[in-house]
Amino acid sequence: MDRNATVTGKRLANARLLSHAVLIFVTILTLYPVIWVLKMAFTPVQGFSTSLNPIPSNPSLENFVYLFRETQFVKWGINSLIVAAATTLVGIFFSCTAAYAFSRFRFPGRKEMLLGFLVTQMFPGVMMMIPLYLLISWLGLLDSLTGLILVYSTTSLPFSTWMLKGYFDTIPKDLEESAIMDGATRGMIFWKIIIPLARPAIAVVALFSFMSAWNEFILAATFMNQESMYTLPVGLKMMVGQYSTEWGHFSAASLLVSFPIVALFFYLQQHLVSGLMAGGVKG
């Protein structure tokens, strides 16, 4: 028995060692592109490095200094932050109210509206670029952050509404009935009971809306013609020329652009898993 236990223990140890080795290799393989971007960001040379060595030979902050001194990077960042934050707030407000109505009320056209929201997710956003451009131009919102906020908010609503509706369906109606018995109004129930309970799903919707607005390039490049009104993705495109690319500046800017998303993800991570799982329970 002792010999068999020893052999079994060795086999388990070898299997665990092999699995750890595989995981370490996969982790390194996954993180290497990020490490390579770090290397290019801290390398003052603007050429494309083909070396596999992830450590910069002469590390410098020259690329970061260039972004803040020679470009309108700060202005672009402020524009992106305004657009992403406003899109998130507007999208959460309208998607929460719409999702609650679809979840709790039965009215004519309800199924058709939900189906329409679902159908819009089948087509890429680029397909709507021309009608959106004509609409924004007619409203006089070209070269305006308000125009981008309006477009981003409406394009994120279908996913956000479906996500929140699925979560609202999991909240027992008995809570609302008890609150009504105690004299609570429908508005009090929504703001003081439903919204606090739906924080995990709202966190997922907030992250999705913020990321969509923060990273979007095509619509922003189409609607914005003045350099001072660019968002960060459009500003980064200026570093990629037809015949050459400023890899050092581009890598440094990419790191700075990704930092808010990473920070927001870590801030909301405690809500993300439960929000994603619960949002897909009911349709």
pLDDT of residue 283: 42
CA dihedral 112, 148, 92, 116 (to 10 degrees): 10
Output b/e per residue, 153-191; b: 16+ Cβ within 10 A: bbbbbbbbbbbbbbbbbebeeeebeebeeeeeeeeebbe
Domain residue ranges in the chain? 2-61, 72-279
**Residue 165 to residue 65: CA distance in whole angstroms:** 46
pLDDT of residue 281: 45
DSSP 8-state assignment for residue 191: I
pLDDT of residue 9: 67
pLDDT of residue 162: 87
pLDDT of residue 50: 66
pTM tops 0.95? no
CATH class of 72-279: mainly alpha
pLDDT of residue 18: 86
Residues of the chain with pLDDT under 70: 1-7, 9, 46-52, 241-243, 271-283
Closest residue by Cα to residue 125 from 14, 227, 220: 220
pLDDT of residue 48: 66
Q: How far is CA 163 from CA 15, 95, 96, 213, in A?
A: 40, 9, 10, 18
State which amino acid sits at residue 235: G
DSSP 8-state assignment for residue 113: H
pLDDT of residue 77: 92
User: What Rg, from alpha-carbon coordinates, does the chain have?
Assistant: 25
